[in-house]
Amino acid sequence: MLLYRSDEWYNRLSPEELQSLMDQNKAWIETLTAQGKAKPGRALERRGAFVSGKNGRFVTDGPFAESKEAIGGYLVLDVETLDEAIAIAQTIPGLAYGGSIEVRPIAEECPLDVRAREFAREEQLATV
Amino acid sequence: MNTQNQNGYMLLFRGNDWIKSLSPEEKQRVTDQWMAWFRRLTDEGKAVAGNPLEREGKIVSGKNRVVSDGPFAESKEAIGGYFLLDVASLDDAVAIARECPGLPYGVKVEVRPVAAECPVASELKKEAEFATV
C-alpha cells in the first residue's frame, strides 16, 4: 500500500504546472493499471475527524491540511516485493514538488493474532 | 458536522505500540472483538475493504526520490491498518470509529472522507472557473 503524505503543495503551482502534472499523473496510473499493478486507490479530502479514548469519547477535528505528514491519498499495489513497490513509488510524478510516500506491506494476518500465537507458543514451551 | 459524501470514508488506525502492553488473554480478546467488528460491518454492507499493515516499510521522498526506513513501530502516530466504509455521512463514520476495540488501549482512529477526484484536478477546475469570470 502506498500512502501519500503531504501538505497542499499543489496550491503553490501555476496553472501550467498543474496541467502538466495532471497529464503525467494520468499517464502514470494508466501504465500501472495496464500492467495490472494498480488496484483501487483514492484521494482523501483534506478534512475529517480523530476519534480516541475509551469508548471513543474524544472526537476532534483533523488532520490539518497544512501538515506535511497528513495523508492525502492511497493506492493499493498488486506487486510481490517491497522493492518493486518502492520502485513504483519513486516514479510518482508529484514527488518532485513535495510530500513523501509511505510504502507498507499489507499484512497476511492481523499482528494481534501473530502476537497471541507467539504467547501461546511461549506458554507451551514454559510447560514443557 | 453531518457532511454527506457519496464516495465513502476511510478509517486509519493509528498507534502501533499499544499491543505490547496487553496480556496474552487481552490480546486474544481484542483480536476476536476486532475481527467480529469487521465481520459485522461487512455483513451490514458498511465495510467494503480493510487490511492490517505490516509493522515495517519505507518512505520515499524528495526530488531525488530518496528511500529511508520507516515508519517506526513504536510511533503513536504510525498507521497499523485501515477500513474503507460505505456510509453516507461523517457522523456515521465517526459512530463506527467509536466502536473500535483498540480505543481503550490508546488506538486513535482517523476518519477521512474519500475525495471524488484528485485534489490537483479540483484545483485546476477552480482556477479555470475563476479565469472565465
The 10s digit of each residue's pLDDT in B33-72 is: 999 999 999 999 999 999 999 888 999 998 889 898 877 7
Write out pLDDT tens, residues A15-58: 888 889 889 988 999 999 999 999 888 889 888 899 998 888 89
A72, B51: Cβ pair inside 8 Å?
no
The answer on pLDDT for B132 being more than 90 is no
Residue A77: what pLDDT? Answer: 94
Of A58 and B127, the structure prediction assigns the larger pLDDT to: A58
The C-alpha atoms of residue B120 and residue A9 are separated, in whole angstroms, by: 9
Q: What's the distance, Cα to Cα, between the start and end of chain B in Å?
A: 31
Interface predicted TM-score (ipTM) of this complex, two decimals? 0.82
Does A66 touch chain B if contact means CB atoms closer than 8 Å?
Answer: no
What are B86's three cell numbers?
A: 460505505
Does B113 touch chain A if contact means CB atoms closer than 8 Å?
Answer: yes
Residue B62: what pLDDT? Answer: 87
Does A22 touch chain B if contact means CB atoms closer than 8 Å?
Answer: yes
Give chain B as a DSSP string.
Answer: ---B-TT-EEEEEE-SSGGGGS-HHHHHHHHHHHHHHHHHHHHTT-EEEEEEB-S--EEEETTTTEEEE---TT-SS-EEEEEEE--SBHHHHHHHHTT-TTGGGT-EEEEEEBPSS-HHHHHHHHHHHHHH-
B5, A45: Cβ pair inside 8 Å?
yes
* d(CA B74, nearest CA chain A) in Å: 14
| Range from A92-101, A108-117, B14-23, B38-47 carrying the lowest mean pLDDT | A108-117
* d(CA B109, nearest CA chain A) in Å: 5
Residue B73: what pLDDT? Answer: 64
Where b means 16+ CB within 10 Å and e means fewer, A22-47 reads beebeebbeebeeeeebeebbbbbbb
The C-alpha atoms of residue B27 and residue A119 are separated, in whole angstroms, by: 9
Does A79 touch chain B if contact means CB atoms closer than 8 Å?
Answer: no
The answer on pLDDT for B17 being more than 80 is no
Pairing state between β B108-113 and B47-52? unpaired
- Partners of residue B71 in chain A, C-beta under 8 Å: 102, 104
Write out pLDDT tens, residues B64-111: 898 988 777 667 788 999 999 999 999 999 999 999 999 998 899 999
Average pLDDT over residues A77-87: 93
Residue B1: what pLDDT? Answer: 46
Average pLDDT over residues A96-101: 87
The C-alpha atoms of residue B26 and residue A107 are separated, in whole angstroms, by: 21
